[in-house]
């Protein structure tokens, strides 16, 4: 009996619960770390807001903009914003960049409901002012009905002036809803349909206003729509044509909160993938304070939720262009050959969340290979669906190297695949970065209720993710 236990201890593996495995100090640090993370979630609900926050943060930490013509060649802490949609930040190490860099790459876009390009209309029957919408990313449409929404975004006026919109986050702001159907009348319209068909994109109109524009008590045709435009013009100087090029996004209104009676978790919109964006940024800021050999880089990309295309996505030239800029800035050859070799010599964590095993729907997970809340950051060798279709498959050599690093640095980690093999699947930006020949593996915390309005994470996993990224950026 004794022998079996000794052998078991020596050669078998089981994932470790952070709360049992770590010291009280470590647990306190995890709790404390989440306080600023919640603040980040509250002010960064869109990709542009995430970039604005990041720039502000970097400037207080003395990072310099590579696009600033007065930047000194000797600056070791630099960043670059790409088309206001993506950002990259680097701490330049002592070794030549061409020997390879360590990268943590996350995304800052989130599933949401966008306004259509020509959004405003007036419903003739109800005389309500409506905003037409177009959902973005993998959402379950019904979740977005009858829940308070805020309007965030940017409108550029005909004279070029930029207007930032943020309605619904302050206590005195109004909020908006897309009204769902009452159950009393939903028997045929919704209840007999599949869940995917119960709410269609065409049902997702936002009620924007209800008071008509009037002159001397005269009723004006489409007066409700006119009054909506009038209010927008009075408040922001925006005309209807300005809306046609705007980016306006509906996101859940409200703030990140502690989850659970023990406050061990966080409930918030947008933790996929702001949990990785935030932890990566914090890790890089810490790396700045230590002397490192290899250059450390954090990328925050747009458009992951819709396939990583478009100008700020991980498939854009920005990924390689920033490295070329760094080579040039560091006095190294930034030509195509050297750039390719730099990328091939580089290590990447594709920093994205994973699906934690859900006690309400255990049948889609395979517990032994799934991510468990509170057991640390998850490493996913591959993603994809079915027979690993469309996945990045990290090499065993690279995965082993990362695991050894995490063990050395006392990072709580676990393996994690998305779900049972034939249940579905999903991908990350990993495969787009691997195309350039870098070593890439997916690494991030588990999330419960991913892509819902209120995603749940464990503070233990958030903190473990930060520790993992810091170890990787400074020592991989």
> For residue 208, what are the CA distances in angstroms to 75, 78, 201, 439?
49, 42, 17, 48
Count of residues that bind Mn ion according to CB under 5 A: 3
d(CA 258, CA 129): 36
Which segment (78-86, 225-233, 295-303, 352-360) binds Mn ion by CB under 5 A?
352-360
Q: Which is nearer to Mn ion, 122 or 273 (CB)?
A: 273
461 touches Mn ion (CB under 5 A):
no
Which lies closer to Mn ion via its Cβ, residue 273 or residue 325?
Answer: 273
Q: At what angle do helices 271-287 and 24-43 cross, to 10 degrees?
A: 120
As measured in angstroms, the least distance from the Cβ of 469 to Mn ion is 15
CA atoms within 13 A on the CB side of 404: 8
Whose Cβ is closer to Mn ion: residue 253's or residue 308's?
308
**φ/ψ (deg, to 5) at 273:** -130, 30
Cβ 357 to Mn ion, closest distance in Å? 17
105 versus 130: smaller Cβ distance to Mn ion: 105
CA–CA distance from 266 to each of 262, 378, 408, 410, 411 (Å)? 11, 17, 28, 23, 20
DSSP H helical segments within 288-437, as ranges?
318-329, 336-344, 396-408, 430-434
Query: Regarding beta strands 347-350 and 101-107, do their DSSP bridges make them parallel or antiparallel, or are they unpaired?
Result: parallel
Nearer to Mn ion, 302 or 352 (CB): 352
Q: By CB under 5 A, which span of 84-92, 113-121, 161-169, 273-281 interacts with Mn ion?
A: 273-281
CB 276 to Mn ion: min, Å: 8
Interface residue with Mn ion among 247, 272, 325, 455 (CB under 5 A) is 272
Cross-strand partners of 382 = 393
Distance CA 389, CA 426 (A): 9
Contact status: 285 vs Mn ion (CB under 5 A): no
Question: Should residue 47 be labelled a site residue for Mn ion when binding is judged by CB under 5 A?
Answer: no
Identified binder of Mn ion from the candidate list 242, 285, 325, 352, rule CB under 5 A? 352
* Distance in Å, CB of 362 to Mn ion, minimum: 21
Q: Is 273 in the site for Mn ion (CB under 5 A)?
A: yes
Contact window for Mn ion (CB under 5 A) among 159-167, 220-228, 329-337, 351-359? 351-359
Decide: is 242 part of the binding site for Mn ion (CB under 5 A): no
Query: Among residues 122 and 352, whose Cβ is nearest to Mn ion?
Result: 352
User: Beta-carbon neighbour count of residue 206 at 10 Å?
Assistant: 21
Residues with Cβ within 8 Å of 34's Cβ and at least 6 positions away in sequence, in order, are 266, 459, 462, 463
Window of 52-60, 73-81, 187-195, 267-275 that interacts with Mn ion by CB under 5 A: 267-275
> Which residues form the interface with Mn ion (CB under 5 A)?
272-273, 352
């Amino acid at each position: 009996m004794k022998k079996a236990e000794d052998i078991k201890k020596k050669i078998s593996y089981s994932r470790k619960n952070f709360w049992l495995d770590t010291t009280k100090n470590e647990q306190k640090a995890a709790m404390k770390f989440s306080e600023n993370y919640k603040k980040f979630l509250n002010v960064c609900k869109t990709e542009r807001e995430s970039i604005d926050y990041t720039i502000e943060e970097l400037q207080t930490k003395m990072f310099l903009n590579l696009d600033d013509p007065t930047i000194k060649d000797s600056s070791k802490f630099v960043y670059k914003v790409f088309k206001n949609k993506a950002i990259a930040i680097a701490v330049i190490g002592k070794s030549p960049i061409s020997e390879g860099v360590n990268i943590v790459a996350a995304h800052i876009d989130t599933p949401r409901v966008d306004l259509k390009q020509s959004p405003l209309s007036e419903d003739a029957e109800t005389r309500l002012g409506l905003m037409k919408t177009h959902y973005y990313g993998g959402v379950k449409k019904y979740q977005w009905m009858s829940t308070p929404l805020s309007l965030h975004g940017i409108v550029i006026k005909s004279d070029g002036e930029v207007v930032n919109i943020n309605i619904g986050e302050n206590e005195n702001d109004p909020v908006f809803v897309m009204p769902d159907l009452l159950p009393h009348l939903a028997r045929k319209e919704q209840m007999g349909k599949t869940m995917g068909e119960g709410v269609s994109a065409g049902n997702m109109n936002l009620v924007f206003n209800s008071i008509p524009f009037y002159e001397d008590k005269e009723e004006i045709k489409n007066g409700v729509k006119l009054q909506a435009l009038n209010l927008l013009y009075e408040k922001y100087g925006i005309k209807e044509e300005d809306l046609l090029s705007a980016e306006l996004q509906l996101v859940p209104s409200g703030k990140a909160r502690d989850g659970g009676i023990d406050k061990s978790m966080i409930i918030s919109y947008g933790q996929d993938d702001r949990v990785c964006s935030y932890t990566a940024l914090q890790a890089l800021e810490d790396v700045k304070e230590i002397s490192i050999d290899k250059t450390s880089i954090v990328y925050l990309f747009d458009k992951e939720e819709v396939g990583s295309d478009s100008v700020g996505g991980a498939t854009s030239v920005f990924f390689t262009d920033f490295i070329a800029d760094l080579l040039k800035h560091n006095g190294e050859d930034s030509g195509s050959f050297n750039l390719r070799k730099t990328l091939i010599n580089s290590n990447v964590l594709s920093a994205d969340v994973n699906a934690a095993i859900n006690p309400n729907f255990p049948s889609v997970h395979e517990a032994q290979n799934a991510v468990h809340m509170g057991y640390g950051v998850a490493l996913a060798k591959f993603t994809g669906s079915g027979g690993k279709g469309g996945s990045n498959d990290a090499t065993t050599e690279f995965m082993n190297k990362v695991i050894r690093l995490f063990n050395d640095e006392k990072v709580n980690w676990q393996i994690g695949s998305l779900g049972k093999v034939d249940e579905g699947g999903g991908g990350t930006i990993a495969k787009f970065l691997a195309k350039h020949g870098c070593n890439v593996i997916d690494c991030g915390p588990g999330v419960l209720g991913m892509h819902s309005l209120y995603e749940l994470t464990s503070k233990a996993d958030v903190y473990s993710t930060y520790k993992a990224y810091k170890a990787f950026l400074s020592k991989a």
